[in-house]
Amino acid sequence: MAIHEELAAELKEAIRARDRRRMDVIRQVETEVARARTEPGFRGDVDDALYRRVISAYCKKMDKARLEFEAAGERGRPQAEKLAWEIEYLGRWQPQTLDEAATRDLVRAAIAELGAADPKMAGRVIGHVMKAAGSTVDGALVNRLVREELGAG
């Protein structure tokens, strides 16, 4: 079943159950997809790949916002919990990425392949890993691990 169809079925179920959280997040994803379709230069189909890209981008934005709400302490806790729930709920439609250990192995292999020893080569190593692994790795994690490995932390 296509992601669009799954979300439509989930929305119907959420409406019947009066589950406001699910309704809100599904409607937001559909809004984000509509926005992506109407952007200048959009070519292609509205398919699972588009939905995965949109959901992934949305979850990254919400995770960043969640961290900011958590930093606000007690006042931001309800919103942080809401965003954490949304990220978890949408997780099944996000592209799966490698865990930290596997990503660290890729980073170490890239460092060895490029002969990088200088922290100034961090950008080159990051680019190499991202080009080789693509969407199977989290860019922020790669950045952090490269900087740790090269001592640029």
| Helices and strands (H, E) in the chain, number of each type | 7, 0
- What's the confidence (pLDDT) of residue 152? 62
pLDDT at residue 96, rounded to an integer: 78
Residue 18: both structure tokens together: 């009066």
Average pLDDT, the chain: 91
- Contact by Cβ (8 Å): 33, 82: no
106-121 pLDDT, tens per residue? 999 999 999 988 888 9
Q: Which residue has the tokens 């989290």?
A: 138
User: What is the rounded distance in angstroms from the CA atom of residue 51 to the CA atom of residue 93?
Assistant: 8
Distance of alpha carbon 37 from alpha carbon 119, whole angstroms:
40
- Say if residue 153's pLDDT is above 70: no
Residue type, 14: A
The interaxial angle of helices 122-133 and 100-114, nearest 10 deg, is 120
pLDDT at 2 over 60: yes
For the cut 60, the answer to whether the pLDDT of residue 91 exceeds it is yes
Distance (Å) of CA 43 to CA 47, 50, 58, 127: 12, 11, 20, 26
**Please, which pLDDT band fits residue 31 given cuts at 50, 70 and 90?**
very high
Can you tell me the distance from the alpha carbon of 19 to that of 33, in angstroms, rounded to the nearest whole number? 22
